[in-house]
Structure 1
Amino acid sequence: MRWLTRRMRTEQVRFPEEYGTPSELLAWEDVRRRLVEAKQFWFAFQRPGRSPHVTPLDGIWFDDMLVYGGSPETLHRRLAAEHPKVTVNLPDPWKLVVIEGEVHETAFAPEVAEEIAGLLNAKYPEYGENVFEAKHYAAGAPVVRPRRIRAWTSFPQDATAYVFD
């Protein structure tokens, strides 16, 4: 059984009247493909009393969630543990994809952890051979589970929101 058991609904994004009104919806498969193909993801973590902590991170879109990593000692991992709400966006502002969700430490079954490590090693060969190890994903890795994803390629005509229940 795969991870995503939630339902997803699609709706137009609402904007102030002077911005215009979306007239079409993007296909989820097109947005999903951009998430799968993305090399980096820009994360914004809550940092109470200060500005958000924004950082680019590597990751993989897997079963409609974003699996990423980093040492538990990094600021982003410590912030996510204290304040799990996060916003993540792809770097291209013209083909916008913004994920709003929560970070959960997730331990994967050994065969799923092997699959994730293999996909990450294939995606990031520039880091060297087998840098990503399955044991890290079996023990528990940070995962962004989306609540809402906004995307567009032609603002505002195809501004689409995907809401996960």
Structure 2
Amino acid sequence: MSHDDPVTEFDARFSDPSARATPWPDTLRVLRDAELYWLTTVRADGRPHVTPLIGVLHEDAAHFCTGPQEQKARNLDHDRRVTLTTGTNTWAKGLDVVVEGTAVQVTDRPALHALADAYVDKYGETWRFEVGDGAFGADERVAHVFRIEPSTIFAFAKDPHGQTRHRFTHPG
């Protein structure tokens, strides 16, 4: 989230009395360190489509990529609203994070090079992407790259249980 820090709000209605708001840097750490994310997109008929994928946090923004023929890419062609989730998948420890926002395609060559490097830094050589014309790769092996422009990011702490909302305001 390459803009100002969000407005952070703690929701005591859904939290243990001893819980406190999750600080923004802790939420970013979970997004940065996650190995796997779940991306939800909206199908043309309005049904949700959920799929696991890898991704990177670059310049404090969540990024993912997808082939143009994949269901999530076809969904993004008509509706850019997405939800990205990650966390610990446990009840009483860790932090789960939910990012609600809009997927914005990244086509700038320097940005794509930086993101390709970020994938290698995080996942190793197995995930080395070549940068093509406005995407990773070329021809049949192309992947479109997206940044999530967040509207709200929720942090769900589990020890003690606490719900935090980080709200974003975007220019314009």
- Pair in the same fold by TM > 0.5: yes
TM-score, normalised on structure 1? 0.81
Distance 1:37 1:22 in 2: 26
- Residues 30 and 87, structure 2, Cα contact 8 Å, conserved in 1: no
The CA deviation at 1:121 is 1.3
Q: Which has the higher strand share?
A: 2
**Equivalences for residues 140-159 of structure 1 within 5 A:** 141-154=145-158, 157-159=161-163
Structure 2 regions of 5+ residues with no counterpart? 137-142
Superposition TM-score, scaled by structure 2 size? 0.78
- Judging changes above 3 Å, is the alpha-carbon distance between structure 1 residues 85 and 156 closer, same or farther for their aligned structure 2 residues? farther
Inter-partner Cα distance in structure 2 for 1:74 and 1:98? 23
Matches within 5 A, 1:1-165: 4-13=2-11, 15=13, 23-49=19-45, 51-94=47-90, 95-110=95-110, 112-125=111-124, 127=126, 131-135=128-132, 136=135, 141-154=145-158, 157-165=161-169
Percent identical among aligned pairs is 25
CA-to-aligned-CA distance 1:18-66 (integer Å, 9 cap, x gap):
x656741111111111111111110111124363111011110112321
Structure 1: distance between partners of 2:69 and 2:12: 39
Shift of 1:140: 6.1
DSSP-derived class of the 1:73 partner: coil
Letter in 1 for 2:55: G
Runs of 4+ with deviation above 4 angstroms: 19-23
Report the CA distance shift for 1:105/1:22 in structure 2 as closer, same or farther (over 3 A): farther
Cα distance change on mapping 1:15 and 1:155 into 2, 3 Å: farther
**Structure 1 residues 118, 13: closer, same or farther in 2, change over 3 A?**
same
Structure 1, gaps ≥5 residues long: none
CA RMSD of aligned residues (A): 2.7
Contact 1:12–1:161 under 8 Å retained in 2 = yes
Q: Deviations over 1:93-130 (max 9, x none)?
A: 342100000111122352x33221111012222626xx
> In the comparison of the two structures, how many residue pairs are matched?
158
